[in-house]
Chain A
Amino acid sequence: NAGVTQTPKFQVLKTGQSMTLQCAQDMNHEYMSWYRQDPGMGLRLIHYSVGAGITDQGEVPNGYNVSRSTTEDFPLRLLSAAPSQTSVYFCASGPGTSGNTIYFGEGSWLTVV
C-alpha cells in the first residue's frame, strides 16, 4: 500500500515551459487535491476533485490545469511556467467525508528560472 505517490520529486523548468506533476493514490479515495506550499503562506489549495470526471478550482488555480479520468490519478499541469510558480507542490487524497483523514504525498520541489 503506497498511499499517495508524487512524481517527480525535483524539477527545474525554464519560463514558458510546460510540464505535468503526477499524483496517484491506491486507497480508492474519491477526493484528491493539489496544494502549493510557500514560505509564510502555509498551504494553498490549487484544484481539487471529488471523483472521476469532476474537478473544481481552489484558492489559487490560475496557471494550472487538472483532469481526473480515473479514481487513482490526478495530474497537475503547468501550462506556461512562470517564476511565481516556484514552490513545493503537495498532492492529497481522502475519502471525502467528514471526520476522515486526508493523506499527503511527499511533495514535488519545482523551480522555474
Chain B
Amino acid sequence: AQRVTQPEKLLSVFKGAPVELKCNYSYSGSPELFWYVQYSRQRLQLLLRHISRESIKGFTADLNKGETSFHLKKPFAQEEDSAMYYCALLTGGGNKLTFGTGTQLKVEL
C-alpha cells in the first residue's frame, strides 16, 4: 500500500533562514506528488505538484525517485509562510490522495 511520511511535526525557523520540509513516499507505481498548504483554519490549497516543476511563492520541490523523496524547499523564509504543509501522493488513476501527517512551519522574527 502507498504511504507518505513527513517526519517533522513542527519546524521552527527564523525569518530569512532556509526552509526544508521533508517528505518521503512508498508506492510501487509511478508517483504523482503534491504539496498542499493550509493556513490557520482555512481550506487546503495546492502549493506545488511535481509534474509542473514550478516555483510558487518561492517554494520548490524536486522528486527524487532514488531516495523516494519530495522535499519542499525555500531559500529565505518569510513570516507569511507560517502554516501547515501536507505532502500528498495521488494514486488510483487520479482519484485518491494519500496524505502525510503534516508539518507545521513556524517562521519567527
Q: Which residues in A have some Cβ–Cβ distance to B below 8 Å?
A: 4, 31, 33, 35, 40-45, 48, 50, 58, 90, 92, 94-107
A106 cross-chain contacts in B, Cβ below 8 A:
42-43
B101/A98 in contact, CB under 8 A? no
* A102-B90 contact in complex given A42-B99, A90-B44, C-beta closer than 8 Å: yes
Size of B's binding interface in residues, CB under 8 A: 24
Q: Cβ of B44 and Cβ of A104 under 8 Å apart?
A: yes
Contacts of B94 in A (CB 8 A): 31, 94-100
- Residues facing A in B34-51 (CB within 8 A) are 36, 41-46, 49, 51
**Considering the chains assembled together, what is the distance between the CA atoms of A66 and B26 in angstroms?**
29
How many Å from the CB of A2 to the closest CB on chain B? 12
| B96 is an interface residue with CB less than 8 A from chain A | yes
A sample of 21 cross-chain residue pairs with beta-carbon separation below 8 angstroms, ordered by A number, consists of: A33-B97, A35-B97, A42-B86, A42-B99, A42-B101, A43-B86, A43-B97, A44-B99, A45-B97, A45-B98, A58-B96, A90-B43, A90-B44, A92-B97, A96-B93, A96-B95, A98-B94, A101-B46, A102-B97, A105-B43, A106-B42
Residues of B within 8 A of A35 (CB): 97, 99
Task: Check if A99 sits within 8 Å of B93, measured CB to CB.
Answer: no
Which of these, A45, A99, A104, contacts B96 with CB under 8 Å?
A45
The 8 Å CB contact of B101, one of A41, A94, A103, A104, is: A41
Nearest 3 interchain pairs by C-beta: A42-B101, A42-B99, A43-B99
B70-102 vs A: 1/0 string, CB under 8 Å?
A: 000000000000000010001001111111111
Closest to B6 in A: A42
Cβ B97 vs Cβ A98 within 8 A? no
Q: Which of A50, A95, A102 has the most CB of B within 10 A?
A: A102
CB distance from A56 to the nearest CB of B (A): 9
